[in-house]
Amino acid sequence: MAREVLSLGGGRRPAPKHALDEHVAPGRRRERSTLMLLILLVLSSGFVVGTTATFNASTKNANNTFATMALDSPSNIGVTGTGTAEVVNWDRPSTNAGTGYLMTFKDSGAAISNLGVTTSCDATGTYSNVASVAHNAATTTHTWTDTSVTTRANYADGRVYCYQVQSAYPYLTSPATTIPSTAWLSQVNNPIASAVVGLTLINGNGTYSTSVTGNGDRKLTAGDKFTFVFNQPIQTATAPTNSQTICANGKKVTSAAAVDASIFIGMSNTNNNACAPSTETLSGFQISLSTDPTSFQLVRYAETITWGTTCGASPTTCDVMIVTVGAQKGSNTWQMATGTTMSIRGTANGTNLVSAGNTTRAYCASGTATNVVANATVEKYRADPATGRCIISGLSHTL
């Protein structure tokens, strides 16, 4: 039975629900109710105590619905090819960095352009967890090397791989094939970079592009240039040299012993006029022509090799080889038909056009070695691999 209290006016009123209610003014009671509500909100928010980072509901921790701040994402991701591996670099967040990073991967298929331009790498599709890296507060740039490139399904030169990095808390012990249910991951603006794997030509995306330029007379003339942009650095000692030559052969025919109308870069002989693609060593590229030349005597020219220094933001490291046509040897004539396009195919000689770095790879090693001439035993080029891209076809030019 509830107690009743006699009021000063002689009436009776209910006893207080709490012993302190007799001494708390109505305004203070409202303040206390507000304080208690705030305390309840904080207790139900999943606030993390004693860590170096706090996170919000956009993180991937399904066990926590409310929080105060999110893990910040890394930035400035880049990928550098080095032989048979890919090196991924990124900058740590300046705040809320977590304790490590989750690296994810997606195979984006063969380069879609005949110029080797990569397919777009974005956040859509399925990314697989491939590794985790510990956060190092003492350094801005973090690095992870993908040494499993050549073991992945459908690997081939000229295939596009996508890499994404996310901040993680706690640090995920490598290999991070499964995300623990208690892990927090950054969810927005996670950086993604693309890599053309293996060793092949790319368009360039910067100062240089794979191209053939001249004065428009449809001939090979001293000063004309062939520019080749590789997706990773080349050992210059394995490339064509100034002591070798450029050679242009005759009419495109169908005989088994004949070769398509072509320009050869890095031929081993230096004799005047005659080209011998069935016996000469090719250290550079065969450039096949789409149309027979209008004048098709065999011609040979000196060549000068120079190297560029940059080719844009993606890939972050590459090599640019520029071959300049020198003086003609002999007096033969050769001229292309109007509208001729070119297909660039690299040598299959495994000692030429070899990548630099800790691991090495010969140009388009996953492509089939194919005879330039049907009965040749020396001179071969690499065909496009089934799942990659090495040949640049349909290239316009200004010769």
- Between the alpha carbon of residue 156 and those of residues 53, 111, 117, 254, the distances in Å are 41, 11, 15, 30
Q: Which of 101-115, 142-156, 352-366 has the lowest mean pLDDT?
A: 101-115
The answer to whether position 51 is within a domain reads no
Tell me: the pLDDT tens digits for 164-206?
A: 999 999 887 766 667 777 789 999 999 999 888 999 988 765 6
The answer to whether position 388 is within a domain reads yes
Shared domain for 386 and 282, answered yes or no, is yes
Shared domain for 153 and 187, answered yes or no, is yes
48 pLDDT more than 50? no
Pairing of strands 299-307, 319-329: antiparallel
Tell me: the pLDDT tens digits for 314-340?
A: 455 678 999 999 999 988 888 898 999
Shared domain for 231 and 294, answered yes or no, is yes
9 pLDDT more than 50? no
The answer to whether position 322 is within a domain reads yes
55 pLDDT more than 60? no
The answer to whether position 56 is within a domain reads no
So what's the pLDDT on residue 256? 46
Total domain count, the chain: 2
52 pLDDT more than 50? no
Shared domain for 241 and 344, answered yes or no, is yes
Tell me: the pLDDT tens digits for 215-229?
A: 999 999 999 999 998
Question: To which H or E segment does residue 34 belong?
Answer: helix 26-43
So what's the pLDDT on residue 8? 40
So what's the pLDDT on residue 90? 97
Contact 104, 153 (CB under 8 A): no
Shared domain for 189 and 224, answered yes or no, is no
The answer to whether position 349 is within a domain reads yes
* CB within 8 Å of 9: residues ≥ 6 apart: none
Shared domain for 124 and 227, answered yes or no, is no
Contact 22, 5 (CB under 8 A): no
The answer to whether position 43 is within a domain reads no
So what's the pLDDT on residue 12? 52
Q: What share of the chain is helix, strand, coil (3-state, %, to 5)?
A: 5, 35, 60
Contact 141, 89 (CB under 8 A): yes
Mean pLDDT computed over 78-106: 92
Six-digit token string for 74: 């890394």
Buried b (16+ CB within 10 A) or exposed e, 34-71: eeeeeeeeeeeebebeeeebbbbeebbbeebeebeebb
What secondary structure letter does DSSP report for 294?
A: S
Q: What's the CATH code of the domain at 147?
A: 2.60.40.10
Distance CA 210, CA 313 (A): 16
Shared domain for 106 and 240, answered yes or no, is no
So what's the pLDDT on residue 303? 96
Query: Backbone phi, then psi, for 108, in 5-degree steps?
Result: -100, 5
Shared domain for 289 and 375, answered yes or no, is yes
Categorize the per-residue pLDDT at 251 as very low, low, confident or very high, splitting at 50, 70 and 90.
low
Categorize the per-residue pLDDT at 57 as very low, low, confident or very high, splitting at 50, 70 and 90.
very low
So what's the pLDDT on residue 85? 93
The answer to whether position 36 is within a domain reads no
Highest mean pLDDT among 46-55, 75-84, 107-116, 271-280: 75-84
From 132, 165, 196, give the residue that closes a domain. Answer: 196
Shared domain for 219 and 190, answered yes or no, is no
* Mean pLDDT over the full length of the chain: 79
Distance CA 393, CA 363 (A): 17
More confident residue, 10 or 328: 328
Domain region containing 310: 211-395
Shared domain for 255 and 192, answered yes or no, is no
Shared domain for 189 and 222, answered yes or no, is no
So what's the pLDDT on residue 189? 93
From 196, 220, 242, give the residue that closes a domain. Answer: 196
Count the neighbouring beta carbons within 10 Å of the beta carbon of residue 112.
14
Highest mean pLDDT among 37-51, 93-107, 109-123: 93-107
Tell me: the pLDDT tens digits for 277-312?
A: 667 888 999 998 888 888 777 889 999 999 987 665
Shared domain for 110 and 164, answered yes or no, is yes
So what's the pLDDT on residue 377? 60
From 152, 172, 196, give the residue that closes a domain. Answer: 196
The answer to whether position 355 is within a domain reads yes
> Hey, which residues does 90 pair with through a beta bridge?
142
